[in-house]
Amino acid sequence: MYEEVDILHKHLVTYLARVSQLKLNEFQTQKFMNLMTAVNNLDYVGDLIEVNMVDLGMRRVEKGFKISAVTQDVLETLHVVVSDALKAAVRAVVEEDKDFANRVISMQDDINLLIKKADLHQAKRLVSEDSGKFEAYSVEVDIIEKLKRIYKYAREMAKTVVDVDEKAIFEEAA
């Protein structure tokens, strides 16, 4: 699947490279740069999932440890919220929808709270009597960190939509 994403990324970058050769006004140049940022951030998310998250899952399977139901709930909640943010960020970019973009950006406090809860859960888990707890702890902390980075990229994508300088539109029209 990642190869398909890589191919799509290559096509998008090739298209944007052609666009960059056109004479663009200031507003168009800003939109172009924002699109490049969004496309690259989406590619970074793909890399995180393909390379890092898949490797973490494989490591868990190879080592044979289980993630407790409570920890699964913590990770699942964070995953769902981050996934929603990513979907909203993509929609914001594709549809140039500032409401979706602002929704993603405003999720920062909720994400930080969920990460803090996940980190506290991990701290409690580390002192438990589980066998193999360090390996599980290491993978779980890595998953949390990757989800945090995915949200960061989604937020940066959303910012490209709200950062467009609309006054340039009016200056161009005058």
CATH number of 71's domain = 1.20.58.220
Residue 127 lies in a domain: yes
Residue 155 lies in a domain: yes
Residue 18 lies in a domain: yes
DSSP per-residue codes, 137-173 = HHHHHHHHHHHHHHHHHHHHHHHHHHTS-THHHHHHH
Summarize pLDDT for 82-137 with one digit per residue, the tens. 999 999 999 999 999 999 999 999 999 999 999 999 988 888 877 766 656 777 88
Domain that holds residue 117: 2-163
Residue 169 lies in a domain: no
Residue 171 lies in a domain: no
* pLDDT given at position 123: 84
Q: What is the mean pLDDT of residues 44-60?
A: 88
Give the chain's domain count. 1
Whether 25 has a pLDDT exceeding 90, the answer reads: no
Mean pLDDT of the chain: 83
